[in-house]
Amino acid sequence: MPLRLRGGGGSKRGMPAAPTVTPKAVIHQKYGAKACYSVEEVREAVDGGCPGLALPQQTRSVYRCSLDLPGLTVVTPGTFVRKKDAEQAAAQIALDKLGIQPTANAPSTPEEAWDELIARISGFFADENFPSSSHPLIGHMCVTFRRTGDRFGMIPMSAIAACDVKVIGLCKLIDPKAEFDPLLVLSLIYNAAKKSPGVSVSDSNFWIRSQKPYSPEAVDLALQHWSGITNPIEVDGIFVPCVMEDEPKTIRLTLSHNEHYMGDIVSKLSASDSSHAVVSRTVGKASSEIRLYFSAPNVQFVSEISNNVVSSLGDGYMESLINKRASFISGQTIYGDAILANVGYTRRDSELHTEDVTLSNYYRILLGKSPDGNYKISRDSILVAELPSVYSRSSWKGLSPRDLLCSFCRLHRLAEPYFVVNRCASGGKNDKENPDMFKCDVKIYSKKQELLLEYSTADTWSKESDAIHNSSLKVLIWFCSYFKQPNKHVLKLSHSKSTDGFTICPDNFLHEFAMFLSIYGNTGGDDSSTCSTVGSLSMDTSKQKLENNAVLAHVDGPDSGVFPSHGSLTCISYTASLVVKDKTNRYMLESNNEFEFEIGTGAVKNQIESCVSQLSVNQSACFIAELPPRDLILAAANEFSHDLSKISRDNCFLEFSVKVLQVTEPLEDRMEKALFNPPLSKQRVEFAVRYINELHATTLVDFGCGSGSLLDSLLEHPTTLEEVVGVDISRKGLTRAAKSLHQKLSKKSLMQTSVPTAVLYDGSITDFDSRLYRFDIGTCLEVIEHVEEDQASLFGNVVLSSFCPTVLIVSTPNYEYNPILQRSAMPNKEEEPEENAGPCKFRNHDHKFEWTRSQFQHWATGLAEKHNYSVEFSGVGGSGDEPGFASQIAVFRRMASGQDEVCQEGELHQPYELLWEWPNASLPSH
Ligand code: SAH
Ligand code: MG
């Protein structure tokens, strides 16, 4: 039974009003985030106060706006009462200067567009235009001239949609829904073609041709462009079944030389008529001709300007025909089975261009739709790269967060993201030391300019682009977590205001992501099952678990002693191979000779990072990893994707082989080394040694010992120490520490010198462990800034009230010293003052805070008073004059008193896990 497409019948009601485009919108379209508005508040005297009275003069705020575009800056000459108006005025001035005007004779109403569409279709078949070698339809027409009989000169209407973007533009003006609906486009072309003078269309199918016979000269001319090859072309496409249970598969298409390719393609879809081909927009790269083809459902187009698709069987019927995967991929409504193929004519060429579309291509297109997919693709690393959790200008690789967010929005058919950058005065005492800061809010709109999501932040950055990238990354990460667990978020969406700076408009949001939800949002509401079906779109949720499971099969090469530490830029080479157990086949899925990433930012799969952290430069290792989701494997598989799609997962495992090529130390360390001699870390050690000697200390615990640099150096100094202990929560750090202490102590014991006891514990310094009660010295160097402020206070309380060391030395960066560090870290860049700003506002991405001298002193004196300690302030790095030391230090001393009952010695409270111990030590395995 035919379905009916019932439309507005040309009535003016129900038509969307022609959009009025504001100057800002035009600027935004052209420049996006490169357009930078800054609004300045001006106080203006208000007239009409009370003359004669000695009151302060009344003023009000008015606004002036300047607009920065690449190569042009304009400022409004006057002021405006509303910020908005100031911005629009600035945008208008810029448009005038640039000579941009809304094109005078372009159609702007649906009616005008309709007339234009009719004229344009006519034009394609007009004698004077056809056929010439520059005709957009030349290739499509040429093939039909090779036919004999009835179909001579007839092309399927979708050819017009495929070859002429202007037609699509007009269709969208007539009905904005055309953007999302290829069937509506076909209906509009069909109805317009019926009205087009000189054009003939049939009533029962979708062929279109010139009313008049083509002149023999024209036909000859067209055929001259054809090389005369008559063998059919074979090309692979991907069959995307409508039924979700069936997986997409490779399909071989045979395109003959005297049939239109669209007919050949839809014949594989059991189409009743080869003119019924419907074609989506291009998918994937904009320049490609990859499109989805499907066969028009048996419909009748009845209106002149159709708005609605109403089936006589009810809406539900058309809906049941929707191919969800194909629709999700293209962002358009696709009905029935579909074929993804790369076939088409380039303009002015009558030879058909074809390229195979592999399963790998299909899954890469799918991957590109996930918020982190384009990052992986841009890094050419699908199996290893992950979207990092922090942005840093110096270490970011691949597409920038802003570009990623823009392409994400584009791929999901949303409006370009809207960045609202605010300049805020830093409020510092010294304007030169503290230039203006920037913060950036982000708004995500639908194509219809409905707000979906708003992110606002208080974070400020010294460079505008840093503000934009950081906020873009936050939004991408939000989308990642939404894509991972859509159901959970759907529930949360209903409470539209959330606390993390995100405000979601649930209705608009869910409307735009409806297709995603219908595929990946399992209605059962069970998140875990959703994840497993999401495939590549789900990110790895079981990271924590995997970290410890990664077992290094074997490590090659001697330990060079240069190892990747937190924050260092590490360059590796790797290969990832899929191994089929019984057949012992290996497929190399991915390899990279030079892959650079920053440790600790989440930029790689967790197992890779934990492997790399156990190696030093020039060492390599292999390990077996958990099998990634099927979609991801096939996306990575390239030429093997077809073969691998048939292999059972149970039979395979993934093997990585990784080599560390180079390590660049974190910026903080580089700065500390470049600027200070001896390096700051050594100065901290020497500082501690002074107190050890002064106290004749025999016991020392290093809270947050990391890879053991302090303990290690202490062994090189002659001291009174008999027992040294390190505590840390990082296994990686502790393993390093164990290795180097072990090496050092083994050598020492050979030399028969007195060797102290050394112990390493895995534990959190905010937990008390009675084995470390009342040590002579506690050190906590450059640790507190790595935990949240409340945890830093908790540590302070626990250590002074429970551990009760005689002396506690705490060091942390002095925030006020940063400008000096940053300036000297990037010297000789005077000509690009912008680049002088630091890559992040703190010295290290992992820092949760950095305190000024007064903040640190406030923290420390509070603690000291509370727990009956005295405290003195000192530091290392610099002279200590304004603005203080580079690294500020507080030295707490327990005051003799009867307060000892506060500490509970006797109780056995041992939450720390013993990791390594000297003597009696065995080196921990990885
Ligand atoms: N003190 C070392 C390492 C400083 S880096 C040095 O000066 O070189 C900070 C260290 O603190 C890291 O090794 C980190 O793992 C550790 N850390 C952070 N939070 C911790 C906690 N709650 N308990 C123990 N260690 C912690
Ligand atoms: Mg630090």
Q: Assign residue 32 a region: left if phi > 0, alpha if psi is -120 to 50, beta otherwise? A: left
If pLDDT is split at 50, 70 and 90, which confidence band does 51 have?
A: very low
> Of 524, 543, 567, which residue is a domain's last?
524
Q: Whose CA is nearest to atom 21 of ligand 1?
A: 764
Is pLDDT above 60 for 514?
yes
Pair 483, 544 in one domain = no
- Of 57-71, 296-310, 735-749, least confident by mean pLDDT is 296-310
Is pLDDT above 90 for 804?
yes
Strand 807-813 versus strand 869-876 pairing type? unpaired
Report yes or no on 103 lying in a domain.
no
Residue 829 has a pLDDT of: 41
In the chain, what's the furthest Cα-to-Cα distance?
Answer: 114
Q: Distance between CA atoms of 355 and 351, rounded to whole angstroms?
A: 13
User: What mean pLDDT, rounded, does the chain reach?
Assistant: 82
* Ligand number, closest to the Cα atom of 814: 2
- Residues 6+ away with beta carbon under 8 Å from 677: none
Number of domains in the chain: 5
Instruction: Please report, for residues 6, 376, 638, 705, 820, the alpha-carbon distance to residue 886 in angstroms, rounded to integers and kept in the order given.
Output: 74, 38, 51, 20, 9
Residue 340 has a pLDDT of: 97
Pair 350, 429 in one domain = no
Phi and psi of 758, rounded to 5°?
Answer: -130, 135
If pLDDT is split at 50, 70 and 90, which confidence band does 131 have?
A: low
- Residues 6+ away with beta carbon under 8 Å from 883: 814, 816, 817, 820, 853
Q: How far is the CA of 682 from the centre of ligand 1 (A)?
A: 17
Query: Is the C-beta atom of 692 inside 6 A of ligand 1?
Result: no
> Of 481, 502, 524, which residue is a domain's last?
524
Instruction: Please report, for residues 249, 372, 385, the alpha-carbon distance to residue 604 in angstroms, rounded to integers and kept in the order given.
Output: 30, 12, 4
Report yes or no on 126 lying in a domain.
yes
Q: Whose CA is nearest to atom 15 of ligand 1?
A: 730
Instruction: Please report, for residues 141, 529, 577, 786, 925, the alpha-carbon distance to residue 538 in angstroms, rounded to integers and kept in the order given.
Output: 45, 11, 21, 30, 32
Pair 765, 776 in one domain = yes
850: tokens are 């950095």
DSSP E strands in 666-707: the ranges are 699-703
Query: Is the C-beta atom of 669 inside 6 A of ligand 1?
Result: no
Residue 497 has a pLDDT of: 57
Query: Quick one: what percent of the chain has pLDDT higher than 70?
Result: 82
Per residue in 761-772, pLDDT (tens digit) is 999 999 999 999
- Of 144-158, 743-757, 759-773, least confident by mean pLDDT is 743-757
Per residue in 809-818, pLDDT (tens digit) is 999 999 999 8
Report yes or no on 363 lying in a domain.
no
Is pLDDT above 80 for 55?
no
Report yes or no on 803 lying in a domain.
yes
C-beta of residue 131 within 8 angstroms of C-beta of residue 141: yes
Helix, strand, coil: what percent of the chain each, to 5? 35, 25, 40
Q: Distance between CA atoms of 852 and 818, rounded to whole angstroms?
A: 10
Report yes or no on 896 lying in a domain.
yes
- Of 68-72, 250-254, 343-347, 904-908, least confident by mean pLDDT is 904-908
Q: Which of 613, 714, 729 to mutate to test the pocket of ligand 1 (most atoms within 8 A of CB)?
A: 729
Least Cα distance to 783 among 796, 801, 771 occurs for: 796
Do you find a cis peptide bond into 883, omega within 30 degrees of 0?
Answer: yes
- Residues 6+ away with beta carbon under 8 Å from 286: none
Q: How far is the CA of 844 from the centre of ligand 2 (A)?
A: 7
Report yes or no on 745 lying in a domain.
yes
CA–centroid distance for 80 within its chain: 38
Query: Is the C-beta atom of 730 inside 6 A of ligand 1?
Result: yes
727: tokens are 């505590």
C-beta of residue 911 within 8 angstroms of C-beta of residue 769: yes
Phi and psi of 925, rounded to 5°?
Answer: -75, 165
Structural domain boundaries enclosing 68: 22-98
If pLDDT is split at 50, 70 and 90, which confidence band does 423 have?
A: confident
Who has greater pLDDT, 805 or 198?
Answer: 805
Query: Is the C-beta atom of 707 inside 6 A of ligand 1?
Result: no
Q: Distance between CA atoms of 762 and 764, rounded to whole angstroms?
A: 7
Residue 859 has a pLDDT of: 97
DSSP character for 130? T
- Of 315-324, 878-887, 891-900, least confident by mean pLDDT is 891-900
Q: Distance between CA atoms of 290 and 143, rounded to whole angstroms?
A: 20
Report yes or no on 371 lying in a domain.
no
Residue entry with tokens 């708005």: 307
Who has greater pLDDT, 551 or 896?
Answer: 896
Exposed, middle or buried, 872 (CB in 10 Å: 0-12/13-18/19+)? exposed
Residue 2 has a pLDDT of: 36
Residue 526 has a pLDDT of: 40
Q: Whose CA is nearest to atom 23 of ligand 1?
A: 764
Pair 506, 542 in one domain = no
Residue entry with tokens 């111990």: 917
Pair 638, 710 in one domain = no
C-beta of residue 809 within 8 angstroms of C-beta of residue 688: yes
Mean pLDDT of 217-224: 77
Is pLDDT above 80 for 129?
no
Per residue in 76-106, pLDDT (tens digit) is 888 888 888 899 999 988 888 887 765 556 7
Per residue in 355-404, pLDDT (tens digit) is 999 999 999 999 999 999 999 999 999 999 999 998 988 789 999 999 99
Q: Distance between CA atoms of 221 and 106, rounded to whole angstroms?
A: 33
Is pLDDT above 80 for 5?
no
Mean pLDDT of 283-297: 86
Pair 326, 421 in one domain = no
Q: Assign residue 580 a region: left if phi > 0, alpha if psi is -120 to 50, beta otherwise? A: beta
If pLDDT is split at 50, 70 and 90, which confidence band does 227 have?
A: confident
Query: Is the C-beta atom of 731 inside 6 A of ligand 1?
Result: no
* Ligand number, closest to the Cα atom of 812: 2
Who has greater pLDDT, 499 or 669?
Answer: 669
DSSP E strands in 190-248: the ranges are 199-201, 207-210, 233-240
Pair 65, 210 in one domain = no
Pair 86, 133 in one domain = no
> Of 357, 380, 403, which residue is a domain's last?
357
Mean pLDDT of 231-260: 92
Torsion, Cα 291 294 296 297, to 10 degrees, reads -140
Q: SS3 sequence, 802-871?
A: HHCCCEEEEEEEEHHHHHHHHHHHCCCCCCCHHHHCCCCCCCCCCCCCCECHHHHHHHHHHHHHHHCEEE
Q: Which atom of ligand 1 is nearest to the CA of 780?
A: 1
Instruction: Kindly give the residue spans of alpha helices, DSSP state H, lying in 321-372.
Output: 324-330, 359-368
Mean pLDDT of 306-313: 50
CA–centroid distance for 776 within its chain: 49
Per residue in 495-510, pLDDT (tens digit) is 555 568 888 888 899 8
Q: Distance between CA atoms of 815 and 836, rounded to whole angstroms?
A: 17
Is pLDDT above 50 for 673?
yes
Mean pLDDT of 140-156: 84
Least Cα distance to 884 among 825, 818, 826, 827 occurs for: 818
Report yes or no on 284 lying in a domain.
yes
Least Cα distance to 903 among 727, 765, 773 occurs for: 773
Pair 673, 658 in one domain = no
CATH of residue 803's domain is 3.40.50.150
Least Cα distance to 65 among 104, 43, 93 occurs for: 93
Mean pLDDT of 580-603: 90
Q: How far is the CA of 617 from the centre of ligand 2 (A)?
A: 23
Is pLDDT above 70 for 204?
yes
Query: Is the C-beta atom of 782 inside 6 A of ligand 1?
Result: yes
Pair 158, 300 in one domain = yes
Decide: helix, strand or coil at residue 358: coil
- Residues 6+ away with beta carbon under 8 Å from 419: 33, 402, 440, 441, 442, 468, 471, 472
Mean pLDDT of 631-648: 88
Neighbours of 220 (CB within 10 A): 11
Instruction: Please report, for residues 213, 487, 723, 738, 883, the alpha-carbon distance to residue 783 in angstroms, rounded to integers and kept in the order given.
Output: 85, 38, 21, 19, 21
Exposed, middle or buried, 734 (CB in 10 Å: 0-12/13-18/19+)? buried
- Of 62-66, 448-452, 519-523, least confident by mean pLDDT is 519-523
Q: Which atom of ligand 1 is nearest to the CA of 727?
A: 24
C-beta of residue 172 within 8 angstroms of C-beta of residue 178: yes
* Ligand number, closest to the Cα atom of 887: 2
Q: How far is the CA of 782 from the centre of ligand 2 (A)?
A: 5
CATH of residue 501's domain is 3.30.160.20
Decide: helix, strand or coil at residue 369: coil
Q: Which of 769, 781, 783, 888 to mutate to test the pocket of ligand 1 (most atoms within 8 A of CB)?
A: 783
If pLDDT is split at 50, 70 and 90, which confidence band does 493 have?
A: low
Q: Distance between CA atoms of 64 and 79, rounded to whole angstroms?
A: 5
Decide: helix, strand or coil at residue 476: helix
Q: Which atom of ligand 1 is nearest to the CA of 765?
A: 23
Pair 624, 692 in one domain = no
Pair 587, 672 in one domain = no
Decide: helix, strand or coil at residue 191: helix
- For the question of whether the overall pTM of this predicted structure is more than 0.75, the answer is no
Q: Distance between CA atoms of 23 and 30, rounded to whole angstroms?
A: 11
Query: Is the C-beta atom of 783 inside 6 A of ligand 1?
Result: yes
CA–centroid distance for 674 within its chain: 33
Is pLDDT above 80 for 169?
yes
Q: Cα angle at 122 between 121 and 124, to 5 degrees?
A: 65
Decide: helix, strand or coil at residue 490: helix
408: tokens are 């994400």
DSSP character for 461? B
Query: Is the C-beta atom of 728 inside 6 A of ligand 1?
Result: yes
